[in-house]
Copies of this chain bind each other. A is one copy, B any other.
Amino acid sequence: MEIKVLKNILDVNDQIAEQNRKLLKEKRIMMINVWASPGAGKTTLLLRTAEALKGKTRMAVIEGDVASSIDTVTLVEAGVTAIQINTEGGCHLDAGMISAALQNLPLEELDIIFVENVGNLICPGSFDLGEYKRIIVASTPEGEDKPHKYPLMFTIADACIVNKIDLIPYVNFNIENFTRTVTGMNPDIEMFKISGVNGEGIGEWTEWVTRELGEYRK
């Protein structure tokens, strides 16, 4: 008789993440895990992304927050399919939460699911959710030193979006230095520069998303 021992919380998480990944593959849905600090502009990015993909690609958002459903209300009011997870103190989403959320989404009607993780540059990086791609949103007022201080996520992300480029004239942020640091840690990362407020750069970003969806479905 073989006895299975689930060694620790990360083992359990990885098993459920693989189940999520398999389910999404069957349904041909690409899932993207979105990481950032609090207030870096994840929700605004996703609103802009939904506008740009409208009528072409069907997307939904799984919204993770410690508390409140402010962002889900914003997304739903804008016509985006969205579902809220409240971690009630927890500092990251895990694969089990995503599994539960997937059961409550209309999977037959979706091409892409964005997971807006809890605003945190540390803990979410250790939890695979079953996603296909991981992106990190950095915002210019946070300063260009963040990759040095929070290296894990910048090292393992597939793409990095620099948001709030409209604020560059008013803050101390050299985008060339920042890009050099990030690509030095992670040479294969895709870099995008956007302004969630005025929509600059959203076209390049959503072209990448669409191209990745094509690759995923090959």
List CB contacts (< 8 Å) of A141-164 with chain B. 141-143, 145-146, 148-152, 164
New contact pairs (20) apart from A38-B150, A120-B122, CB-CB < 8 Å? A37-B38, A37-B39, A38-B121, A39-B139, A39-B146, A66-B149, A66-B150, A67-B148, A67-B149, A67-B150, A70-B145, A70-B148, A89-B122, A89-B152, A119-B150, A141-B167, A167-B167, A167-B170, A167-B171, A172-B197
CB nearest to A90 among chain B residues? B122
Q: Is A194 part of the contact surface with B, judged by Cβ < 8 Å?
A: no
Q: Is A123 part of the contact surface with B, judged by Cβ < 8 Å?
A: yes
How many interface residues does chain A have, given as a range?
Answer: 35 or more
The docked-state distance in angstroms from the alpha carbon of A150 to that of B67 is 7
